Homo-oligomer: A and B are copies of this chain.
Amino acid sequence: MRIALDAMGGDFAPAAVVQGAVMAGRANPEVEILLVGDERALQRELASKGGVPPNVRTCDAPEAVGMGEHPVSALKRKPSSSVARALRLAADGEADAVVSAGNTGAVVAGAALLLKLLDGVRRPGIAVTFANPTGPCTLIDAGANLECRPAHLVQYAIMGSVYHQHAFGVPKPRVALLSVGAEEQKGNKLVKESRPFLAELDLNFCGNVEGEDVHQGRCDVVVCDGFVGNVVLKTSEGLGENFLAGLRERAEKDVWARLGVKLLAPVLEKMKRWLDFSEYGGAPLLGVAGICIICHGRSNDIAIRNAISAAARFSRHDVNGRIVAALAAERDVWMRATENSG
């Protein structure tokens, strides 16, 4: 298996990405890693590693897409950017998966454009998994599709369920629709229109849930539109970080509290990992005809290594093959969802 790694994407690129690639290369000798980025910068980074595993290679891509750039125009203007070239390698069959911590919008737009979509898929969706104490919970969509229609949510439910089942070994994931109350009559137009179709699917649909349920173990897969999902993801991150920082800051002022923090250090470290959404190695973009793992912009070397392992796992379990089969089996439902709501 060959993985094209966008070496220039992310806040700590290329250093953290190269380090993550070297770590992953050592841990997975069967995986070939293509570091896509500025050749000279990559060679400089690799030279500092003191021994590069033979399964880590480079592929020159002199340009980079910045985090603030407009996704589609950046892709058009910069065909030899690291993200475009990594996706191109996958599109041309020279790589089996793409991993990027770069501009999410550019990765999503580029993947849809270059890899194309799986048979029948209307819109791809980002599936991000929270490492809750009660077990993993996958939220889809975390920001690929900001204007969703019912058919999109129906397909997200199917794709999210298949992914969660095979990525985390949960036989019949409990799939829920994110709303403002459990009651059927509650929700916005999108939720109300989507719910009956979700209930029809051959899934373990457990109805509507609220924001708190994303972190409380009441469901395994949460379906929502990309705007809401992105806000949930960022709110959770912000609150978690603030919580840990606030705890440490307040404890600083008191000698006993400071000792308390020291004694709790191993527990706080575990809590931090819960709130670190790269724990599960990045978020797959489900629905594209290929494997595309999106990492957090702030990904460090460990997050990159985990993302490479996640890409390999995704391939091993043939998640895309199973998604295509599941979508085909439920074609009648999402076709009706499309017709009834445009």
- Give residues in A with beta carbon < 8 Å to B: 68, 70, 105, 132-133, 143, 146-147, 178, 180, 183, 185-189, 191, 210-216, 224, 226-228, 230-243, 246-247, 249-251, 254, 256-257, 259-264, 266-268, 270-271, 274-275
Contact = CB atoms under 8 A, between A and B. Distances in A.
A189 B180 CA distance: 21
Given A254-B267, A264-B251, A239 B239 contact: yes
19 contacts: A133-B250, A143-B180, A147-B188, A180-B226, A180-B230, A180-B231, A191-B227, A210-B238, A212-B237, A212-B241, A215-B235, A215-B242, A235-B235, A235-B236, A239-B239, A251-B264, A251-B267, A254-B266, A260-B261
Contact of A231 (B186, B231, B241): B231
Given A235-B236, A246-B274, A250-B271, A189 B260 contact: no
A189 to B, nearest CB: 6
Nearest to A264: B260
Nearest to A186: B105
Contact of A211 (B68, B210, B233): B233
Contacts of A267: 247, 250-251, 254, 257, 260
Given A243-B271, A251-B264, A212 B227 contact: no
A153 to B, nearest CB: 14
Contacts of A224: 231
Given A147-B189, A227-B187, A228-B228, A243 B242 contact: no
